[in-house]
Amino acid sequence: MTRAIIRALVGVGVMVGSILSGVTDVRAHHPPPPPTPSFPPVDPSQVDCTAFRSANHPHSQQLCYDTANDLHQLFQLVLYQIANNNIAEAIQESLPTSPQMFPDATVVYGPDGFASIAADWIGSNDFIFLSTSFTFRYRPLDANTAVGFGIVNFTVQDNEHGTVRTISSAQTELFRRNHQLPRGWEQIYEQLAYVQPLLGDQP
């Protein structure tokens, strides 16, 4: 998948999203989000409630877990969409304008930003995603704010070099609830570190 094609696909996704948003404004109501695949709940061992601010709430542990699970469901959805090469849709779920900071200090914003660095990130101008997997822990700060951190693996078919390989990155992400976004969560910050060196152009 060339960089130009990636940009075109992402651009179409953004344009369609803008059109749908305009229709929503005219009708003065929010249409329901598209059907969501069913994903398993987060394992309680992946949830850290030590920083949860509602400690005096009689059901604080359950509220903390529910907050983490809400975010876990979003993570699974986004990676499912990436694995199906629905990149623009995945980005629109929670970070249409959020900054993403990469290890070389590059900062990009939203779908266009991702399209601008995708080829260098993957190390190929012609690729598709085959699958994704991740191992994350969640640290809710309150019912509306949570940190997620862990490893994400992207398995990619590199058509330019005739290989299939997996790119792994360690990520820390900060989310807050925002009911104007499709799934009710907004990613307000993301920082990535590569588990192995990139294969793209190096300085």
168 to 108, 121, 152, 171: CA distances (angstroms): 19, 11, 6, 10
| pTM score | 0.72
* Per-residue pLDDT tens over the stretch 62-79: 999 999 999 999 999 989
Token duo for residue 133: 């997997």
* Per-residue pLDDT tens over the stretch 19-42: 333 333 433 444 555 566 789 999
What is the rounded distance in angstroms from the CA atom of residue 116 to the CA atom of residue 47? 34
Residues in Cβ contact with 120 at an 8 Å cutoff, skipping those fewer than 6 apart: 198, 200, 201
Ordered by where they begin, the domains of the chain are 3-194 (3.10.450.50)
* Per-residue pLDDT tens over the stretch 160-170: 999 999 988 89
* Per-residue pLDDT tens over the stretch 40-54: 999 999 999 999 987
